[in-house]
A and B are shown apart, each in its own frame.
Chain A
């Protein structure tokens, strides 16, 4: 019984982290169509923000609150200096963001060194029978829900969200209605970066912080967003649930390597059956 509860919790945690880390990419790639290979580094910079905050005596919570701002601003600068010249040019975007990814990893390694830095995990533990669960992982799950809810609300209930959705459909028409689409792309990219910063910050105390932190996740989150399809939030959530479930179930019953192989296999099968992604045939929305 305890085992079942703890396993179920582990699965839920795997799903939640997948969704939380994929959220920013769902906006940047799912919605805007920008293949941002530096997305992993957005997670990484978010994690380092928490490390720096705690090293200066601030709490982990402060670090988590500041990370989206830091990475959002970083995203803003990157959009203005690189991305905005490359919209619609897939190959150029991939090359540029790949270079950016290497550059950011190199820069952070230069400043902070290549070693993994730990951040003391806040909160305590709960005991379930013979098992100990960290309360912080409950917080991670809650943050995944919060991130989803926030993103949903921004796109559905704010002026910025409305304009962003319209711009992704027809930016010329948006400009004929008096809005500068370049501004909208800039804001949407920065918002996606901020979400990635939040994700990286939230997982930092559990994963430890290292310049290559994002590499472990980049493939997974791209797969999750691609399988999710055009309805970015519900699609990413659904695909995160399916893929996270498969990965963690197989990992528990064999090894994490097989878990990742199983995840990839299921993703390939899903894309064979539903080339547009899980949400390809849904009524469109965010």
Chain B
């Protein structure tokens, strides 16, 4: 489905991705772990097209995405839940969701409200007035409104209270099973990452260093190498 090979990217003169290669199959759930500054966000941004690939390529369902702008990638089925959520704060929850449906027909609306009942209760509220966890759920639901085939999630548990973290985990697993959405998750929460993923990649200094089974994320060596503080 998704093939990334030798992807290089940089901010100005600072190289951040130094040849990332990975493969993700249809409906697969993959996690990428790595310390702060490893380049995880940069990788997702490069996959989404916000950062130019200096070398390497990105192929998605047979289409070469490498030089397409983000909106074209979105129309080809990529969905993005950025770190920090980036919901539209002055737009209402309903309007945020309508923004998500721009490239689709919005037929997901009722179905998604059933999956995310918290949003249904707050449709007329402004996005910025939601709690952090609710905003995270809104960002996920917004991305799903467009019927993506590949969802990129950047640390959806960051700053979210534990009860909502569990809720998000269940919802993501449910959506993956129900709609067959392929998911790439960037995460530093080991419990969440191992419960979510079928496969894990580790990232260090802008490169993928290991491919692991999710149980291995609890290995003290892995924790020390990729998550240790």
| Chain A residues with a Cβ under 8 A of chain B | 159, 162-163, 165-166, 169-170, 172-181, 283-285
Q: How far is the CA of A178 from the CA of B146 in the complex (A)?
A: 9
- What is the minimal beta-carbon distance from A182 to any residue of chain B, in angstroms? 9
Closest 4 CB pairs of A and B: A178-B103, A178-B74, A284-B90, A175-B70
What residues of A have a CB within 8 angstroms of the CB of B100 in the complex? 177
Q: How far is the CA of A176 from the CA of B48 in the complex (A)?
A: 7
What residues of A have a CB within 8 angstroms of the CB of B69 in the complex? 175, 180
B90-123 vs A: 1/0 string, CB under 8 Å?
1100010011101100000000000000000000
Contact A178 B95 (CB under 8 A): no
| Nearest residue, chain B, Cβ from A284 | B90
- What is the minimal beta-carbon distance from A72 to any residue of chain B, in angstroms? 23
Q: How far is the CA of A180 from the CA of B70 in the complex (A)?
A: 8
For residues 50 through 65 of chain B, which have their beta carbon under 8 Å from a beta carbon of chain A?
50
Q: How far is the CA of A285 from the CA of B124 in the complex (A)?
A: 13
Contact B74 A175 (CB under 8 A): yes
Contact B90 A176 (CB under 8 A): no
Partner of A176, one of B80, B89, B126: B80
- What is the minimal beta-carbon distance from B135 to any residue of chain A, in angstroms? 13
Q: How far is the CA of A172 from the CA of B142 in the complex (A)?
A: 15
| Nearest residue, chain A, Cβ from B50 | A172
Further 10 A-B residue pairs, CB within 8 A, beyond A172-B86, A177-B143: A162-B99, A166-B88, A173-B88, A176-B50, A176-B70, A177-B100, A177-B102, A179-B102, A180-B71, A181-B71
| Nearest residue, chain B, Cβ from A231 | B90
What residues of A have a CB within 8 angstroms of the CB of B86 in the complex? 170, 172-173
For residues 106 through 155 of chain B, which have their beta carbon under 8 Å from a beta carbon of chain A?
126, 142-143, 146
| A interface SS class | helix
What residues of B have a CB within 8 angstroms of the CB of A165 in the complex? 88, 90-91
Contact B99 A163 (CB under 8 A): yes
- What is the minimal beta-carbon distance from A111 to any residue of chain B, in angstroms? 40
Provided the pairs A162-B95, A163-B99 are in contact, do residues A179 and B71 lie with their beta carbons within 8 angstroms? yes
Contact B88 A175 (CB under 8 A): no
Q: How far is the CA of A179 from the CA of B89 in the complex (A)?
A: 19
What residues of B have a CB within 8 angstroms of the CB of A180 in the complex? 69, 71
Q: How far is the CA of A176 from the CA of B73 in the complex (A)?
A: 8
- What is the minimal beta-carbon distance from A214 to any residue of chain B, in angstroms? 32
Contact B90 A285 (CB under 8 A): yes
Between-chain CB contacts (< 8 Å), 9 pairs:
A162-B91, A163-B102, A166-B88, A169-B89, A169-B90, A173-B88, A177-B74, A178-B74, A181-B71
- What is the minimal beta-carbon distance from A277 to any residue of chain B, in angstroms? 16
**CB of B75 within 8 A of chain A?**
yes
Provided the pairs A175-B69, A176-B70, A178-B74 are in contact, do residues A166 and B99 lie with their beta carbons within 8 angstroms? yes
What residues of B have a CB within 8 angstroms of the CB of A284 in the complex? 89-90, 126
**CB of B82 within 8 A of chain A?**
yes
- What is the minimal beta-carbon distance from B25 to any residue of chain A, in angstroms? 23
Provided the pairs A178-B75, A284-B90 are in contact, do residues A162 and B146 lie with their beta carbons within 8 angstroms? no
| Nearest residue, chain B, Cβ from A178 | B103
Q: How far is the CA of A166 from the CA of B89 in the complex (A)?
A: 9
What residues of A have a CB within 8 angstroms of the CB of B99 in the complex? 162-163, 166, 174, 177
What residues of B have a CB within 8 angstroms of the CB of A176 in the complex? 48, 50, 70-71, 74, 79-80, 82
Residue from A177, A179, A283, A285 having most chain B Cβ neighbours under 10 A: A177
- What is the minimal beta-carbon distance from B96 to any residue of chain A, in angstroms? 8
| Nearest residue, chain B, Cβ from A230 | B90
What residues of B have a CB within 8 angstroms of the CB of A163 in the complex? 99, 102
Contact A170 B146 (CB under 8 A): no
Provided the pairs A172-B70, A173-B86 are in contact, do residues A178 and B91 lie with their beta carbons within 8 angstroms? no
Q: How far is the CA of A47 from the CA of B90 in the complex (A)?
A: 36
What residues of B have a CB within 8 angstroms of the CB of A172 in the complex? 50, 70, 86
Q: How far is the CA of A173 from the CA of B98 in the complex (A)?
A: 13
What residues of B have a CB within 8 angstroms of the CB of A178 in the complex? 71, 74-75, 102-103, 146
Q: How far is the CA of A166 from the CA of B98 in the complex (A)?
A: 11
- What is the minimal beta-carbon distance from B82 to any residue of chain A, in angstroms? 7
